[in-house]
Amino acid sequence: MTLQKRVNELLEINLDNFGSDFLLTSEKSAAHIEATLLLAEIFSEMHARGKSFRIFDTGLAISIFRDNSTRTRFSFASAANALGLAVSDFDEQKSQIAYGETVRETANMISFMADAVGIRDDIFLGEGNRYMREVSAALDLGYSERTLHQRPALVNLQCDIDHPTQSMADLLKLRDFFGGATNLRGKKLAMTWAYSPSYGKPLSVPQGIISLMTRMGIDVVLAHPEGYGLIPEVTALASRQAEESGGSFAVVNSMDEAFNNADVVYPKSWAPFAVMEERTRLLKTGNNAKLKNLERQCLASNAKFTDWECTMEKMRLTKNGKALYMHCLPADISGVSCEKGEVSAEIFEKYRAHTYSEAGFKPFVIASMIALCRLENPNKFLYKIINRHKKRIE
């Protein structure tokens, strides 16, 4: 699709009143999802052509990472920089939170001249998305009371429920790989658990995938061993959305069954919902002895399913043996990053460039989310940046 065609399609969407935050894909209208994807594609194409899509002369983008990150952290920084915003990483250890500063106060104090706030909080089940909404409410209050001159856009960089920037980047990869959104209908995507020698991986990636892809008319199969289910409300949502979109959603307990005739496979480890609930409770109480015992139990359970690995043999089960392998990274690569893991070294290396390009869509997704949330007249902005012909390097 040409750059101008994407622009024309985006201009046909009513871009007003999209709201100030992007917290869950399931909360966004189909129009908002499509607009975000189209603008991300436009930004990506402009960057590839060496064109600037800077929209802010000055401003601040604040990142709050309550968990470690590589891709998402640098994607947020890249997106903010491309839009013209400086990035400041909020380190809670260096703040006044330990001395009783409230979320409401902190959110306002760091946002006086901010245009965007990105938060990653995926450690505590039931807490991450709640914390983001508490920050959001504080920003609303600050803006309504005129403490803040503008209301910053709040972007979910991963929580306990969803990972919107990842799933949207994954969807852009699928659109690019299969030649457009219409070609995704009827494709089979296998979102499967895979073995990992580690413990406590968040549920947000598989939940984000089934929450978004079931809206696209895709036949989504969620596969995991018995007892490794996701948040029940999320799987119920995926089922309803699949029915509405004309796709399908199924849950199976066999990796082979999920891979059979699949067009796309996404083998990714996660901790069982029940384990994450218990882990959250123990982390809050600081019971390290019981945490260690829970970890031992979980690792012992994982060890029963070491055959849940993406191998050449399993890939032969896919459609013509040529399904697209996807992963949010970093993957547990057998014989490379661990003795035995989610994917064989042979498969990972074969699809490595695809996983890198998959990750490469994320900065443009984040930039799109911020732009659509902050701009009062997105159409006017689009005309301006497309026609100004400004290069990043003159």
Contact call for residues 25 and 79 (beta carbons, < 8 A): no
Least confident of 43-47, 215-219, 237-241: 43-47
**What is the pTM assigned to this prediction?**
0.96
- CATH topology for the 3-162+362-387 domain: Rossmann fold (3.40.50)
**pLDDT, position 136:** 97
Contact call for residues 212 and 285 (beta carbons, < 8 A): no
Q: In the chain, pLDDT over 70 holds for what percent of residues?
A: 99
Please state the domain extents for the chain.
3-162+362-387, 166-359
- What torsion do the CA atoms of 313, 317, 323, 327 make, to the nearest 10 degrees? -60
Q: Would you tell me how many other CB atoms lie within 10 Å of the CB of residue 386?
A: 15
Confidence of residue 297 (pLDDT cuts 50, 70, 90): very high
**pLDDT, position 216:** 98
**pLDDT, position 8:** 86
Q: Is the pLDDT of residue 394 over 90?
A: no
Q: Would you tell me how many other CB atoms lie within 10 Å of the CB of residue 288?
A: 10
Q: Which amino acid is at 226?
A: E
**pLDDT, position 1:** 60
Confidence of residue 385 (pLDDT cuts 50, 70, 90): confident
Contact call for residues 50 and 78 (beta carbons, < 8 A): no
3-162+362-387 and 166-359 agree in CATH topology: yes
What would the two tokens of residue 128 be? 């991450």
Average pLDDT, the chain: 94
Per residue in 88-107, pLDDT tens? 999 888 888 878 899 999 99
Residue 357: strand, helix, or coil: helix
**pLDDT, position 289:** 93
Per residue in 200-236, pLDDT tens? 899 999 999 999 999 999 999 999 999 999 999 999 9
Least confident of 41-55, 255-269, 302-316: 41-55
- CATH topology for the 166-359 domain: Rossmann fold (3.40.50)
Angle at CA 128, nearest 5°, toward 250 and 195? 45
Q: Which residues pair with 61 in a beta bridge?
A: 87, 116
If you write DSSP's letter for every residue of 84-95 in order, what string do you get?
T-EEEE--GGGS
Q: Which amino acid is at 386?
A: I
Q: Is the pLDDT of residue 380 over 90?
A: no
Confidence of residue 285 (pLDDT cuts 50, 70, 90): confident
**pLDDT, position 80:** 98
**pLDDT, position 4:** 82
Per residue in 147-165, pLDDT tens? 999 999 999 999 999 999 9
